[in-house]
Amino acid sequence: MLLVVKIPYYMQLASINDLARLASALEVVPLPVYAFRLQNTDVLAVGINVGLAKPLLCYVNAECSGEFIAYRVYMGGEEVNMVNAASNPAYSYAPIIRVKEMPRKILKGRKEMHTETIVMNDLSSLTKLVLFRYMREEVLTPFFLMRRRGVDGKGKGKDKDKDEDASSTPIIGMFMSSDDDGTPYFCYTVLDHMPEGNFVRYSSQSGEGPEFTNDIDGHGYIYMKVIRMKDQQQI
Q: Tell me whether residue 66 is in a domain.
A: yes
Phi-psi category of 16—alpha, beta or left, where left has phi over 0 and alpha has psi -120 to 50? alpha
Q: Let me know whether 123 and 64 are in one domain.
A: no
CA–CA separation, 60 vs 223, rounded Å? 24
Domain presence at residue 102: yes
Same domain, 95 and 68: yes
Q: Quick check: is 234 in a domain?
A: no
Report how many domains make up the chain: 2
CA-wise closest residue to 181 among 21, 81, 53: 53
Alpha carbons within 13 angstroms on the beta-carbon side of residue 97 total: 13
Q: Taking a C-beta distance cutoff of 8 angstroms, is the pair 69, 59 a contact?
A: no
Query: Is the domain of 24 the same as that of 59?
Result: yes
Residue 165 main-chain phi, psi, to 5 deg: -65, -45
Domain closes at, from 73, 108, 143: 108
Do 76 and 166 lie in one domain? The reply is: no
If asked whether residues 95 and 190 sit together in one domain, one would say no
pLDDT value at position 47? 92
Q: Is residue 75 part of a domain?
A: yes
Residue 129 shares a structural domain with residue 164: yes
3 state DSSP class of 164: helix
Please say which residue of 108, 138, 165 terminates a domain: 108
Rounded CA gap, 196 and 230, in Å?
15
Residues of the chain with pLDDT under 50: 151-166
pLDDT at residue 5, as a whole number: 64
pLDDT at 50: 82
The predicted pLDDT at position 198 comes to 97
Q: Long-range pairs for 124-131 at CB < 8 Å and ≥24 separation?
A: 124/209, 124/210, 125/189, 126/172, 126/173, 126/174, 126/187, 126/188, 126/189, 127/200, 127/202, 127/210, 127/224, 128/202, 128/204, 129/174, 129/187, 130/174, 130/224, 131/202, 131/204, 131/222
Q: Do 24 and 53 lie in a common domain? A: yes
User: What pLDDT, on a 0 to 100 scale, did the predictor assign at position 4?
Assistant: 64
Pairing of strands 143-147, 222-228: parallel
Buried b vs exposed e over 100-110: b needs ≥16 C-beta within 10 Å? eeeeeebeebe
pLDDT of amino acid 162: 46
Residues 127 and 166 placed together within one structural domain of the fold: yes
Helix (H, G, I), strand (E, B) or coil at 94: strand
Residue 100: inside a domain: yes
Domain range for 139: 116-228
Note the pLDDT of residue 148: 75
pLDDT at residue number 13 = 96
Q: Would you tell me how many other CB atoms lie within 10 Å of the CB of residue 227?
A: 24
